Every structure is written in C-alpha cells, then in structure tokens.
Chains A and B, each alone.
Chain A
C-alpha cells in the first residue's frame, strides 16, 4: 500500500507543480466544444439530446492525454526498468498510477463541467448531484483499463495510436452506459433503470480493475 501511495504522491506533486496534464486536458475539451459548435448546427432541443454524448467525447479524448502522459513520463525518465526491479507487487504500482491518473482526470472533469454548462446553456437542478456517481464510475472504468493499456502501449514507438486503438473499443460499454445516465440527469428524468445501469458500470469497474491489478505484474516483467 505504501508503494502505491508513494507513486501517487510523486505523480500528484509533479502535476501540481507543472499542471501539464490538467491544462492540456481542459484546453483540449474546450476546443472540442468550440469546434462542435461549428460543425453541427442544431436546435436547442437536439442539443440537449447530444450534450451528454459530447461531454463524454470530451472526457474520453482528453482522458487520453492524462493516460499517455502518466506513462510517457516514466519512460522518459527511464523508470520502466526500475519499476520492474522494485521489490513490490506489480499491483501496487498499478494502484499508484491508477489513483494518480483518476484523480487528475476527475479534477479536469470538475473544471471543464462549468464550461460545458455555460456553452450549452444547461438548466441546472439539484438532480445534477446524481452526475457525481455517474462520472465517478465512468471515469474509474476508463482509467482502470486505460492505466494497464497505457503501460502496455508505452513500450512501443507509437504509444498514442496504440493506446487509442486498444482502449476505445474496450471502453465502449462505459461510454454507452455513462452517456445514457448523463442524459437522464441532464434531461431530468431519472428512470428506475438509472440504478441498474449505474450498477452495471460499477460491475465493469470492479471486473477490469481487478483484472488489471492481477495482470500488471506481467507487464513489468522482463
């Protein structure tokens, strides 16, 4: 547990000093929103239908920055080897990286959400608090798979392309469910299926977090 926290602390300290990741993610999402405004001319009603999808497109695309950055840094500093040599369970390293990427991504999401609300003129209601578990669960699923796949992709020359190719097909269930849940919250109709869907995302998270935790050792091995 200590190793994981040490890695988390190191990553967070680096991030808070430079704010590289969060800034890049935030600006990129901002750009996505801007471009979208030009590429699709839709009525307000249609906009409300599309908004949840747009939000998650922004999250996913920006999330890639965070994921790539997380391991690219280790590679640049020649840490890939040292991580393998640490007398620690691979799962700990996964946990540390996962936590740092997830926290950074969550912070980015909190920061971009107000922009999203303003740009698309969304009417906020108290039900918006229900977005918290949705975004949390969705993000965790994305970063669980993303962390281990990023660790895989970082060994190649084209880390970014390979990560996208590997990750996006695999996280499509998360995207499908999260967009639907977000849509429910934004429109304001919380149907009973909200909770069963949320459960599904959580189940996905548990499955892949566990798998990633168990398999991470093999990534580090030589």
Chain B
C-alpha cells in the first residue's frame, strides 16, 4: 500500500516537473517591453518563490508536530518533525542560494538586508539550530522534548522577526528587492501556480520518504536493543 502511493507520487512528480519546465521556458509569453535581466528574473521566480513557501510550510509542520509531540508523546510526531525540518533546510538553502544569483544580474547586488531575505536567513538558522541540537543529544524522550520546545519557540518568533525587519526597513530605506509579485498576467499566474503545486508534491514525496527511513531506522534500532538485552 505504502509503496504504490510513493510510486504514483514519483511519476506524478517527474511529469509535473517536465510540464513545469515547459511552461516556464516555452509556454509563457515573453514580456516585450522588458530587458534581458528582467526576463531572467521572471524565470527564476517560478522556482525561487515556491521553494520559500514550501520551506515555510515545512517549518509550520515542524511546529505542529512539536506541539503534537509535547501533547501526545507520540514518537511519530517527533519523526515527522525531523523529516520536515531536514526538507525545510533543503528548501530554504535553495532559496538563499538562488536569491543572490537572481539578484546580481537584476539589481546588481548579491544581498540586501530586506525583510524577506533576512527572515529567510533567520529561519534557516533556526532549523539548523534545531537539527544541530538533535545531533548533539542522545536519542530519547529528552531530545524529543528539547527539540519540540525549540520548534515551538522558533516558529512563534519567525513572524515577529519578519515584522520587526519590515519596520526596520522603513527606517533605513535601502535597495529592497521587489520580487515582482505584483499583479501577474494570466499565463504567468498559471505557470506559477503549477510550479507551486509541483513543489508541494515534491515536499510531500520527500517527507514521506524521509519519514519512512526514520521509522525503519527506529525499528531496527529497537531490534538491536532487544537482541543485546537477550
């Protein structure tokens, strides 16, 4: 049962990505009145923004599972949280790497301390701290508790961080990298939505797979422990 869903997901995913690339590079009409760099900007945003959104979703899932774990003490919550955190790091890393690459040709700068980028960086740092904390602790309920607390505190703070930097921006007018999320023309909107859907499927697929690995690891470790006791 499990593996049929995964197989279907994988096939759907591959097709979706192919369709995505087609939509982005061939189907979407060129904006006549813009220069090359703006056109480039257009293309990256179809992958860059969904990565960011899914990264945030992943963190939200970490938050939910953290609360769930502290409430129900179910190991499964902990494992889903860990899997989601790893995938979140992946997505946000991609956002942080593609952001500057996108910005350089378009705005001439690698980085700016605007609310979006900075909050993404801070989000990344919190996830990384979450995973590092888990790495330096032995497996068990203690680690589960501590990482759950961090997962909760971190998530509550991220909107506050974003909001405070937004306010800070008004004090220090700087190069703010508008991501062109203004009104999107119809075909671009469709392409973007499709890209978003594709990334969502990617997230679900990676989450399932990562979680399954964690579960199997768990049962094997349990077997080892039982053997040693015997």
Interface residues of A (CB under 8 A from B): 145, 148-149, 152-153, 155-158, 162, 165-166, 169-170, 172-173, 176-177, 180, 200, 204, 207-208, 211-212, 215, 218-219, 221-222
Contact = CB atoms under 8 A, between A and B. Distances in A.
Given A155-B137, A157-B136, A165-B128, A173 B161 contact: yes
Interface in B179-229: none
Q: What are the 7 tightest A-B residue pairs by CB atom distance, in nearest-first order?
A: A173-B164, A156-B136, A169-B125, A169-B122, A165-B129, A218-B145, A166-B129
Interface residues of B, number: 30
Given A145-B153, A165-B129, A169-B129, A222 B142 contact: yes
A210 to B, nearest CB: 10
B146 A176 contact: no
Instruction: Name B's interface SS.
Output: helix
B153 A173 contact: no
Contact of A155 (B122, B142, B153): B142
B141 A162 contact: no
Contacts of B146: 152, 155, 218-219
Nearest to A161: B132
B165 interface: yes
Given A169-B126, A172-B161, A219-B146, 19 more contacts: A145-B153, A152-B149, A156-B136, A158-B136, A166-B126, A166-B150, A176-B164, A176-B168, A200-B164, A211-B152, A211-B153, A212-B153, A215-B70, A215-B149, A218-B146, A219-B149, A221-B142, A222-B141, A222-B142
A156 B99 CA distance: 34
Nearest to B164: A173
